[in-house]
Structure 1
């Protein structure tokens, strides 16, 4: 019996989106191929000549090490990765059963991508995030910074430093000792602090410079620079790696680039006079999320930019609180945990935070910090970062303590890893300083990681805790959906998709004593440090990217439809192709959970 190829394409996504005439023209270029079970269509490195559509049977996709990446069935397309790259297969495709396939020539496939944006978007979602189109603000500083910036010792006479700046036409000079940044001197500093004040020309730079300036690592994004500049009112950003100066990025360098709307929001936040104004500004986050997703930014960029807004809002509330209450009686540090701590906030976020106080704090001082915590927490809630259901907030006395008490907390959780200790330790291992004296946390973080990683019982409990959230895998290659309630027949992309990876990343960071807090950064660092196998780590990153990207796209679609964003997606909303890949991602997570549970998930 002859096959009506055009009709077959019309019933399969994304070819169903083609106009009838274009689909008929495509069908004329497509041929039918039958392949026996066990036969290989192509191997890694082979010339890639066709895109394939499965009519019957099963095709297994494996990497060069033989690890199964995908198991594909009828109505799944495959082969596009090689065609999009350089015409060379990047995976191996083998028939697990007798199969019938439609073959679309490479030239026809590329014509589809060129002429039909909907088809392009369908196949583009499966490409590695690093190759997607990015806005300039998502570029790392390492790619834009000026390397080997002008430096001088702090004791250099002011007139000598000014002459050096004039000679090479720069607006700043870094005061450094053995590569360590001690301060920065700009032309603005010379004008306002030296010339205007009549300071002698032989005055040391150290007397006029801005000491201990804000710095960023080369892995930070241009957006991070923009956000810091507009929030702090600075124009020069030294770039530091491992404590050593490696470059600088100035506002002048960035004038040719247009700031993203996230930077504009932060600029407004930095000068907001009250919490009501902040709430109006933060209320534009959903619109920003839609724009960022539409621009095909990778999930880790979208969540970083959105978290930056949460950070700026928190810092502005802290400043408003101090303006109302007066200066704090002792130094303090406001920290975020949860998704904000990991820089993974989306369109749905509650608040998880705490306060670390200087050990000089006395019981009477708590009245001030209780008021400060209430002011900030109430302001965050008003802005849409709703109160934590578990009361994991600085408003609770338990989470507003001096450094010595926090040391006792961590020591107790590690020594007695009961269920509550596991839960609390999991939350607190995601702590990230937001505002105040950052020095109050540095030693505490290092000490805790060292002590926890050495306690095999505690590590075992943390691994067990990381297996509580299971991916939604059902029988017969289906999904295990929510069975009842308002979210019936959906899958929870947060608790059954993202959270299991977050938990695994935390375990790897603990084993490797890694200070990274962001999940994706933890996985990359764990691979580098040997805390997880290279193959397993890379597979887990790919799975995480797929699920996290799907989650953001789901939220963006809800927002565009006038609904509130959530994490509950109906599998039927996805194409067969998308469902297959999403399920494969869940399989990878389950595999890595099994490996962690058996002791094979990391390398000692």
Structure 2
């Protein structure tokens, strides 16, 4: 494993499991004696197996000895650091290192899915870091103090991706890293714009990202898709400031290098900035009349994820979406019918067929060839099953757990999806190398014989999945 790959290791596999613990109400002198006897520098205080605080030898020096307190009169809860900064055992090492750097701490408690203590990770457990790492870049983003600084960091994200591609990092990890870094840039920009120019802005709104950004599946083509949801009873003055903020924010986002959405799906535009009640009315319209435009808009919006502000708006709208789709299956059926129209570019004997003319002669559009069918088809099935959160892989696994897909189907779809996303990233990097804008078009002559065979298998899996969609949504009865 290369040094860069270490950063994508789950912290659970690196954390030390033999953590010494104590109770929060335990006498401090007992815990200090135990630390001396074991030769350790910290003890984690737990309640019902959940970590609630930590006591270090530094705490004993600074909070007890230097303060002139009598340790015999103190409990652990009197000096422990609480609330405790924790990290899930399935999170990546670079996220742990970012937390430690941001909070200026030297150790993190690692917890399982139920919040129970499973280990501890210290900065001394990581022997070295390289400057070209996601963790370092995230820290720079967090400390950026201007839009101009974020513009430079946006370029560095691209440079980091180019660097990491050559290290053998799994495509899934790389895509997740791109999405995470882009999230942090946008979130930091929102913080800067608000604090510098809109300190009086209402807090009763949510800035949400949509589409691939909402699913956390961005590659290098990162034109923005976003919206704003705000409280129903904002005053006219609050609405004016929110409108000014939205326009300012999106224009600044464009200025740092994030392209505008060609379809105008941006919070600066009035139709993508609405009250909660208005968004519910829009959803009613989309779901009741599944025209091609409404299907496109609805499908984009269904991937909403709160990046800044009150997440309660997102939760309420997702509940609304689930309830309406449960009562009316027509929208999802129309969505599925739209998906199966995008036929994979396979010719006689399953041979991959490239575009025959135009500027992309000899290439295939990897997104249209298969990625779109998988993401949108899986979304339609997931929404029908009441699964509204997560990205495409999460939804596939959720459909498997729900019995909609069997294990082999899920494995095949995930494999095809991952391979196609990897090719899409490769196409975008190739365009950059050639001095062009990142593109989804990949020339087939850049694939070797083995890769062309894998591409054929992936596209055949897309075709099989589309057949499954036809049956699942009974599209033959709709003429699809």
Q: Quickly name the TM-score band, shorter chain normalised.
A: 0.7 to 0.9
Confirm or deny: 8 A CA contact 1:509 1:516 kept in the other structure.
no
Secondary structure of 1:335's counterpart equals: strand
The reply to whether residue 303 of structure 1 matches residue 175 of structure 2 is yes
The answer to which of 583-592 and 283-292 deviates more is: 283-292
Number of residues of Structure 1 aligned to a counterpart in Structure 2? 467
Q: Deviations over 1:238-275 (max 9, x none)?
A: 54555533435544255325265222222111111211
Confirm or deny: 8 A CA contact 1:317 1:375 kept in the other structure.
no
Q: Counterpart of 1:125?
A: none
Confirm or deny: 8 A CA contact 1:290 1:560 kept in the other structure.
no
Per the TM alignment, residue 586 of structure 1 is displaced from its structure 2 partner at its CA by: 0.5
Q: Counterpart of 1:469?
A: 342
How far apart in 2 are the matches of 1:514 and 1:505?
Answer: 10
Per the TM alignment, residue 283 of structure 1 is displaced from its structure 2 partner at its CA by: 0.7
Q: Counterpart of 1:589?
A: 462
How far apart in 1 are the matches of 2:266 and 2:124?
Answer: 40
Confirm or deny: 8 A CA contact 1:333 1:437 kept in the other structure.
yes
1:340 to 213, 217, 242: 213
The reply to whether residue 577 of structure 1 matches residue 447 of structure 2 is no
Q: Counterpart of 1:566?
A: 439
Per the TM alignment, residue 453 of structure 1 is displaced from its structure 2 partner at its CA by: 4.1
Q: Counterpart of 1:245?
A: 116
Confirm or deny: 8 A CA contact 1:218 1:241 kept in the other structure.
yes
2:380 to 485, 489, 507: 507
The reply to whether residue 498 of structure 1 matches residue 371 of structure 2 is yes
Confirm or deny: 8 A CA contact 1:466 1:507 kept in the other structure.
no
Per the TM alignment, residue 289 of structure 1 is displaced from its structure 2 partner at its CA by: 1.5
CA gap of 1:133–1:465, structure 2 versus 1, over 3 A, is farther
Confirm or deny: 8 A CA contact 1:274 1:320 kept in the other structure.
yes
Question: What is the alpha-carbon root mean square deviation over aligned residues?
Answer: 3.7
How far apart in 1 are the matches of 2:286 and 2:33?
Answer: 55
Secondary structure of 1:566's counterpart equals: coil
Q: Counterpart of 1:284?
A: 156
The answer to which of 202-211 and 525-534 deviates more is: 202-211
Per the TM alignment, residue 599 of structure 1 is displaced from its structure 2 partner at its CA by: 1.3
Q: Counterpart of 2:8?
A: 138
List alignment gaps of at least 5 residues for structure 1: 1-130
CA gap of 1:274–1:418, structure 2 versus 1, over 3 A, is same
1:401 to 274, 285, 310: 274
Per the TM alignment, residue 379 of structure 1 is displaced from its structure 2 partner at its CA by: 3.0
CA gap of 1:280–1:497, structure 2 versus 1, over 3 A, is same
How far apart in 1 are the matches of 2:328 and 2:112?
Answer: 31
Per the TM alignment, residue 547 of structure 1 is displaced from its structure 2 partner at its CA by: 1.4
Per the TM alignment, residue 468 of structure 1 is displaced from its structure 2 partner at its CA by: 3.9
Per the TM alignment, residue 466 of structure 1 is displaced from its structure 2 partner at its CA by: 2.8
The answer to which of 277-286 and 360-369 deviates more is: 360-369
The reply to whether residue 449 of structure 1 matches residue 319 of structure 2 is no
CA gap of 1:331–1:217, structure 2 versus 1, over 3 A, is farther
Confirm or deny: 8 A CA contact 2:223 2:260 kept in the other structure.
yes
Q: Deviations over 1:348-396 (max 9, x none)?
A: 2111112233455333212232233233323322232211111212212
The answer to which of 332-341 and 536-545 deviates more is: 332-341
How far apart in 2 are the matches of 1:403 and 1:184?
Answer: 39
Per the TM alignment, residue 473 of structure 1 is displaced from its structure 2 partner at its CA by: 1.9
How far apart in 2 are the matches of 1:359 and 1:203?
Answer: 48
CA gap of 1:253–1:453, structure 2 versus 1, over 3 A, is farther
Q: Counterpart of 2:188?
A: 316
The answer to which of 556-565 and 538-547 deviates more is: 556-565
Secondary structure of 1:244's counterpart equals: coil
Greater share of residues in helix: 2
CA gap of 1:592–1:528, structure 2 versus 1, over 3 A, is same
The answer to which of 527-536 and 185-194 deviates more is: 185-194
The reply to whether residue 221 of structure 1 matches residue 89 of structure 2 is no
The answer to which of 157-166 and 438-447 deviates more is: 157-166
Q: Counterpart of 2:477?
A: none
CA gap of 1:363–1:454, structure 2 versus 1, over 3 A, is same
CA gap of 1:202–1:231, structure 2 versus 1, over 3 A, is closer
The TM-score with structure 1 as length reference comes to 0.67
CA gap of 1:380–1:238, structure 2 versus 1, over 3 A, is farther
Q: Counterpart of 2:256?
A: 383
Confirm or deny: 8 A CA contact 1:230 1:270 kept in the other structure.
no
Confirm or deny: 8 A CA contact 1:231 1:266 kept in the other structure.
no
The answer to which of 431-440 and 159-168 deviates more is: 159-168
The TM-score with structure 2 as length reference comes to 0.83
2:405 to 529, 532, 537: 532
Confirm or deny: 8 A CA contact 2:63 2:79 kept in the other structure.
no
Secondary structure of 1:138's counterpart equals: coil
The reply to whether residue 522 of structure 1 matches residue 395 of structure 2 is yes
The answer to which of 432-441 and 309-318 deviates more is: 432-441
The reply to whether residue 392 of structure 1 matches residue 262 of structure 2 is no
How far apart in 1 are the matches of 2:282 and 2:106?
Answer: 41
Secondary structure of 2:116's counterpart equals: strand
Per the TM alignment, residue 149 of structure 1 is displaced from its structure 2 partner at its CA by: 5.7
Q: Counterpart of 1:124?
A: none
The answer to which of 463-472 and 241-250 deviates more is: 241-250
CA gap of 1:478–1:319, structure 2 versus 1, over 3 A, is same
Q: Counterpart of 1:294?
A: 166
How far apart in 2 are the matches of 1:401 and 1:165?
Answer: 58
List alignment gaps of at least 5 residues for structure 2: 475-480
Structure with larger RCO (C-alpha < 8 A, sep 6+):
2
How far apart in 1 are the matches of 2:256 and 2:61?
Answer: 38
Confirm or deny: 8 A CA contact 1:269 1:316 kept in the other structure.
yes
Instruction: Note the 1:18-57 alignment, pairs <5 A.
Output: none
Secondary structure of 1:284's counterpart equals: helix
Larger radius of gyration: 1
Per the TM alignment, residue 310 of structure 1 is displaced from its structure 2 partner at its CA by: 0.6
1:266 to 138, 143, 154: 138
Q: Deviations over 1:407-449 (max 9, x none)?
A: 4444543444343332222112222222333344335434533
How far apart in 2 are the matches of 1:144 and 1:543?
Answer: 30
CA gap of 1:336–1:247, structure 2 versus 1, over 3 A, is farther
